Amino acid sequence: MKIALIGIGGIGGYIGSKLCSTYSVGSEHEIIFIQRGEHYRKIKDFGLKYIGKDEIIVYPNAIYESTENAGLFDLVFINIKSRDLEETTLSLKGNLHAKSIIITMLNGVNNASRLQAVLSEIIILNGCIYVSAAIESPGIVRQIGGAGNLYFGPENGEISPYTFIEKLLNDAGLKAILSSDIIKAVWEKYMLISSWASLSSEYALPIGAILADEVKCSELKLLLNEVFVVAKASKVCLSDDIVQKCLDRYAQLPYENKTSMQLDIETGKKPEIDVLTKFIVDSGKQLGIAVPGYCSVLQALDNL
């Protein structure tokens, strides 16, 4: 298979490093990176340095700044910011064939439906991953946390056609789970990240400082409960103890852990407030559900 990774940031770097380490030049699979700017140039010249528990340097079969001359892809992982989804998807049209499969790994819960609206004839699988990593400098991605569990699957629940992808990923050392209820899995990840990212970005604090502050921890619980209510109204059956499960997961994180949205604000990049905060406010309005916690956080973030 010809496997393309669109965006070699934290998530793309993690998945790409695993795939390249296993399916090196000369293997049955070809790994292609699509990345722009100085990060592209460093990877092209020196390989991708991925720093996790171990430090490795990997080399894709090829890396391009755009998909224009990259050929046809059999499997595509989209690992970009949500705001670029439609534009990036349109640019892929010339790289896809009738049996191509796209897996979206973006933050948010509606990415698969957004992709399907643009590429109605292509197989789209939704997905999410539990990994905290980011570009440290051009050519270097550093992981600071996360177990690396990767969930993916079709939203119709028919998983049997995609077991070969699960095997391919697990053979590369990725903890891949092909889920027959991917919508639930994506909402569980969204609930964990959205509440934390929104609050940590408002206060510019790592997770440990939020949990140690009684008032801020109560605010975090409020946001978690608001996502739970919105999910339930959206007919997503999250477990009744999901709020406590999220709090337990936060407690296992290193004190200094930050979300990508908080890091984007700190480094002057455009944060995903629309996906991780405003989406719940808008959903609340559409569903007739009060989400005062998210409304307050959104107002604070808009004033940053």
Sign of torsion, CA 214 230 301 6? positive
136 CB burial (10 A radius; 0-12, 13-18, 19+): middle
Judge if 96 and 172 occupy the same domain. Answer: yes
- pLDDT of res. 75: 98
pLDDT value at residue 146? 80
pTM of the full structure = 0.92
Q: Tell me: do 167 and 18 sit in the same domain.
A: yes
Residue 207 tokens read as: 């997770």
Q: What is the mean pLDDT of each run of 10 residues along the chain (304 residues)?
A: 96 97 87 97 97 94 94 96 87 95 94 92 96 92 89 96 97 96 96 96 96 97 98 95 96 89 90 96 97 98 88
Task: State which of 180, 198, 221 marks the end of a domain.
Answer: 180
Domain that holds residue 43: 2-180
Matching residue, tokens 């999910």:
231
User: C-alpha angle 78/256/182, rounded to 5°?
Assistant: 35
What pLDDT is stored for residue 168 in this prediction? 97
Domain holding 193: CATH number? Answer: 1.10.1040.10
Q: Is 115 in contact with 89 (CB distance < 8 Å)?
A: yes
| Total residues found in the chain within this entry | 304
Check: CB of residue 211 under 8 Å from CB of residue 217: yes
Tokens 């639930």 belong to 184
3-state secondary structure of 207: helix
| 123-129 and 149-153 beta bridge pairing | antiparallel
Q: What pLDDT does residue 174 have? A: 96
Q: How many domains does the chain have?
A: 2
